């Protein structure tokens, strides 16, 4: 890649890296990593995860580096775990999930500010690259959780973020996203505490230039960075104290997500249904609640259709993991998920999903009966 035009006069040459999966730009006090594995949607395999880990570790102890920016190239931020790599290296699943866990933890606990410009497509674990207090969504940001549809579970960092967002907003947005695979737009991610800032995509290069100026002047103090982000930000309103009827109508609207329809089509009744249906403590109860509304609600029917594309065991494991992550600090949540993710990747659900993807076919939709037939003992075994 090449530095953006706004920055070309101050950027050094792109720093050579050990792969073609990313480019690094050096500014005085600032390092910018641009993921460029575009054909694979910037998904993370062992090579890319390892390279990011090594770079961040090196810069964390480098007094000449005061902050880091992460961004993606060509309309994609990060596609999460590289499922093709995982399919071809099944025995290495624990190592891959371990490397990803190390990466997500490093980013979330980094001693220097990491500003993640999460513009474009984000899938599943890719959101873990934005688990920082300085992450930015834009109008081009869309996020979805795809793992359960492949018979897998989301990464622990993402589940922890989703669970915390539910606590912050008081609305089970995270549960909805984790179990349905429905997309959510950048403005709603900021509104519901998934990402802290919302900045127009056209302003990102100017924002990086401002961050570069701050980094060259001092040790990139966090209050200075926050002021810069706030200056560029168009944050959505906080949901604290709002009634369900006051929530933004664009939240989770299938008309918007799938057909480009107007967000205003959402009604108070449908918004209340999101909170009511996804507050239940089992996937079966969530499903039954949706079924009870499906006769009169297009949203409930669409949501059931989305959930029916997932593997039943993956749905049940995902919900249990999310509840477990909500009660744990991030490091423990990540450790819990590594073992479960590695074990479930060796189950038949992943094989079947990959076979359907390769053949261009769709799996048979699951039903409530399929969920009920998954024995609790089989889910328990994933957690032992």
Per-residue pLDDT, 347: 79
For the whole prediction, is pTM greater than 0.75? yes
User: What is the pLDDT at residue 68?
Assistant: 95
pLDDT at residue 313 in the model: 94
Count of the separate structural domains present in the chain: 1
Quote the pLDDT of residue 361. Answer: 85
Whether 46 maps to a domain, the answer reads yes
The pLDDT assigned to 234 comes to: 66
Does any domain span residue 323? no
3-state secondary structure the chain: CCCCHHHCCCCCCCECCCCCCEEEEEECEEEEEEECCHHHCCCECHHHHHHHHHHHHHHHCCCCEEEEEEEECCCEEECCECHHHHHHCHHHHHHHHHHHHHHHHHHHCCCCCEEEECCCEEEHHHHHHHCCCCCEECCCCEEECCHHHHCCCCCHHHHHHHHHHHHHHCCCHHHHHHHHCCCEEHHHHHHCCCCCEECCHHHHHHHHHHHHHHHHHCCCCHHHHHHHHHHHCCCCCCCCCCCHHHCCCCCCCHHHHHHCCCHHHCCHHHHHHHHHHCCCCCHHHHHHHHHHHHCCCHHHHHHHHHHCCCCHHHHHHHHHHHHHHHCCCHHHHHHHHHHHHHHHCCCHHHHHHHHHHHHCCCCCCCCHHHHHCCCHHHHHHHCC
**Containing domain of residue 56, as a range?**
13-144+200-232
205, part of any domain = yes
Determine phi and psi for 101, rounding to 5 degrees.
Answer: -60, -45
**Domain assignment of residue 140, yes or no:** yes
Long-range contacts of 95-100 (CB under 8 A, 24+ apart): 95/46, 96/45, 96/46, 96/49, 97/155, 97/337, 97/338, 97/341, 97/342, 98/338, 99/46, 99/49, 99/50, 99/53, 100/44, 100/49, 100/125, 100/128, 100/155
- Residue-level pLDDT at 269: 64
Does 320 reside within a domain? no
In a domain, 45, yes or no: yes
Please give the pLDDT value at position 3.
Answer: 53
Q: Is residue 209 part of a domain?
A: yes
Q: What is the CATH number of the domain that holds 81?
A: 3.90.226.10
Residue 317 lies in a domain: no
pLDDT of the chain, 384 residues: tens digit per residue: 545 544 544 455 445 454 678 999 988 889 999 999 988 899 999 999 999 999 999 999 998 899 999 999 878 999 999 988 988 998 898 899 999 999 999 999 999 999 999 999 999 999 999 999 999 999 999 999 989 999 999 999 999 999 998 888 888 889 999 999 988 899 888 888 899 999 999 999 999 988 888 866 545 577 888 888 898 986 443 434 334 334 333 333 332 333 233 323 234 566 677 789 999 999 999 999 999 999 988 889 999 999 999 999 999 999 999 999 999 999 999 999 988 998 998 877 788 887 887 788 888 999 999 999 999 999 999 998
Structure tokens, 337: 């998920």
């Amino acid at each position: 890649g090449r530095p953006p035009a706004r920055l070309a006069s101050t950027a050094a040459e792109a720093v050579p890296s050990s792969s073609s999966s990313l480019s690094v730009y050096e500014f005085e006090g600032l390092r910018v990593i641009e993921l460029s594995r575009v054909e694979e949607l910037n998904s993370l395999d062992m090579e890319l995860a390892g390279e990011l880990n090594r770079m961040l570790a090196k810069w964390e102890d480098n007094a000449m580096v005061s902050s880091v920016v992460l961004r993606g190239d060509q309309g994609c931020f990060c596609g999460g775990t590289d499922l093709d790599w995982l399919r071809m290296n099944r025995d290495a699943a624990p190592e891959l999930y371990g490397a990803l866990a190390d990466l997500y933890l490093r980013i979330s606990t980094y001693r220097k500010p990491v500003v993640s410009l999460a513009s474009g497509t984000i899938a599943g674990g890719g959101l873990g690259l934005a688990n920082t207090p300085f992450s930015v969504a834009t109008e081009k940001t869309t996020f979805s959780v795809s793992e359960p549809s492949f018979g897998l579970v989301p990464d622990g960092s993402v589940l922890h973020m989703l669970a915390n967002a539910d606590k912050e907003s008081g609305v089970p947005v995270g549960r909805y996203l984790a179990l349905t695979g429905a997309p959510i737009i950048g403005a709603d991610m900021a509104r519901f505490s998934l990402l802290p800032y919302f900045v127009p995509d056209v302003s990102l290069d100017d924002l990086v230039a401002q961050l570069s100026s701050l980094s060259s002047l001092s040790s990139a103090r966090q209050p200075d960075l926050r002021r810069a982000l706030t200056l560029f930000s168009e944050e959505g309103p906080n949901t604290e104290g709002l009634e369900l009827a006051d929530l933004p109508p664009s939240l989770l609207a299938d008309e918007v997500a799938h057909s480009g329809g107007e967000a205003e089509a959402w009604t108070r009744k449908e918004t209340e249904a999101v909170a009511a249906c996804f507050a239940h403590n089992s996937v079966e109860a969530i499903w039954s609640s949706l079924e009870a509304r499906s006769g009169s609600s297009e949203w409930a029917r669409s949501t059931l259709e989305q959930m029916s594309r997932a593997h039943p065991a993956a749905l049940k494991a995902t919900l249990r993991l999310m509840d477990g992550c909500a009660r744990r600090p991030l490091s423990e949540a990540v450790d819990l998920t590594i073992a479960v993710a590695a074990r479930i990747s060796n189950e038949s659900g992943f094989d079947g999903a990959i076979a359907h993807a390769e053949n261009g076919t769709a799996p048979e939709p699951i039903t409530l009966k399929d969920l009920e037939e998954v024995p609790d003992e089989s889910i328990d075994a994933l957690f032992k």
